[in-house]
Amino acid sequence: MSALLEVDALSVGFRTRRGIVRALSEASVAIEPGELLLVVGESGSGKTVLAHTLLSLLPRNVDVAGSVRLGGTELLGLAPAALRELRARRMALIPQSPASSLNPVRTLGGQLIEGARARGLSEEQARRRLRALLGELGLDFDFIGGRYIHQLSGGMQQRIVNAMALVGEPDVVIADEPTSGLDSELVETTAAQLQEISARGASLLVITHDLRLAQRLAGWIALLYASRIVELGPTAAFFEAPAHPYGRELLRALPEREGKSIPGMAPELTALPGHCAFADRCPDRFDRCTEALPDLYPAPDGVLARCFVHAAR
């Protein structure tokens, strides 16, 4: 079977008063059904822009180039009605903060059913499916239905938005920072639920800066730095031995490793250099790094890395 979600040479730029902010440059990834892809990087590296581009949630001051195909259908430039239809039936977003993504002054039952109906289910189907889904997650629809979001614990809130994302049986699920601000117990619950979603056969894209969550979820990882994918490969291989110096230095910054920061800051997205964007901070830098832009080169263990160290292989 061909890859379900294919992103090819996707570039996104925002027109701002400071010039063009290059949020994403020539990103290419593919996610097969049942596969999990982690998108990892610091704030401002382009993670959320990737998710928002896939869902066509970008503002107007944006220029997009490249291609995003879902089951062969090109999403970029699709007519609004067709796009809405496709997004409702085949894609779902698990938002960053469950509590603030639901209406605080409406009970949950009505909101859940409304969400399901927007995905083309009848009221009856919606009830049936929500009952079954929430049941699998250990929640009772009748109990939940009459309550407000603030009356539920963090773990329950997370399960509600997960159920809402799954109700239309989407092909692609995108989770945006699903664990930011959660305590360790809730992180564990959320991780288990995300794995369950992926096991159902959906393509799952998880955006996170939480390296421990990434390691726990496994699957594939795309590491972003200054708008470009700098490493792409199996998550296990990344945590074993990152192929890109940025990945290696990032892992060293974990408190359980060395807790040592990478000196300097990422370059401004309005003035990205024509050479390797990490060169200024890279301990392994050599002449070529400040002269040309590296491609993604094959590194050991089926990894691709945007570093001249691997260019000779």
Partner 1 sequence: MLRAERISKSYRASGGHVVAVDGASLQLERGQRLGLVGPSGSGKSTLAQVMAMLLAPDDGSLTVDGDRIDVWGVHCRCELRHRVQLVFQSPRMAVDPRLRVGEAILEPLVASRLLAARDAECAVLLHDWATRVGLTYDLLERFPHEVSEGQLQRACLARALIVAPRYLICDELSSMLDVSTQAALLEAIAAIQAEQELGVLLITHDRVLADTWCGEVADIRELAARSGEGEADATQRHASARAAALSALVRGRQRRAMPP
Applying CB under 8 A, which residues contact partner 1? 16, 18, 41-44, 99, 104, 148, 150-155, 157, 180-186, 209, 211, 249-250, 253-256, 259-262, 265
Q: Which residues contact 240 (CB under 8 A, 6 or more apart)?
A: 301
Residue 83: CB minimum distance to partner 1, A = 27
Residue 45: CB minimum distance to partner 1, A = 8
State which residue, 68 or 250, has the beta carbon closest to partner 1. Answer: 250
DSSP codes of every residue in 22-49: EEEEEEEEEE-TT-EEEEE--TTSSHHH
State which residue, 163 or 213, has the beta carbon closest to partner 1. Answer: 213
Instruction: Please give the torsion angle defined by the CA atoms of residues 31, 62, 20 and 245, in that order, rounded to the nearest 10 degrees.
Output: -10
Q: At what angle do helices 154-166 and 123-136 cross, to 10 degrees?
A: 130
Residue 93: CB minimum distance to partner 1, A = 19
State which residue, 104 or 274, has the beta carbon closest to partner 1. Answer: 104
SS3 243: coil
State which residue, 4 or 224, has the beta carbon closest to partner 1. Answer: 224
Residue 128: CB minimum distance to partner 1, A = 28
Q: Which residues contact 25 (CB under 8 A, 6 or more apart)?
A: 11, 46, 227, 228, 272
State which residue, 19 or 77, has the beta carbon closest to partner 1. Answer: 19
State which residue, 73 or 261, has the beta carbon closest to partner 1. Answer: 261
Asked if residues 70 and 91 have their Cβ atoms less than 8 Å apart, the reply is: yes
SS3 74: strand
Q: How far apart are the first and last CA of the chain?
A: 30
Q: Which residues contact 184 (CB under 8 A, 6 or more apart)?
A: none
State which residue, 121 or 262, has the beta carbon closest to partner 1. Answer: 262
Q: Can you tell me the distance from the alpha carbon of 82 to that of 68, in angstroms, rounded to the nearest whole number? A: 15
Residue 75: CB minimum distance to partner 1, A = 28
Residue 253: CB minimum distance to partner 1, A = 4
Residue 299: CB minimum distance to partner 1, A = 21
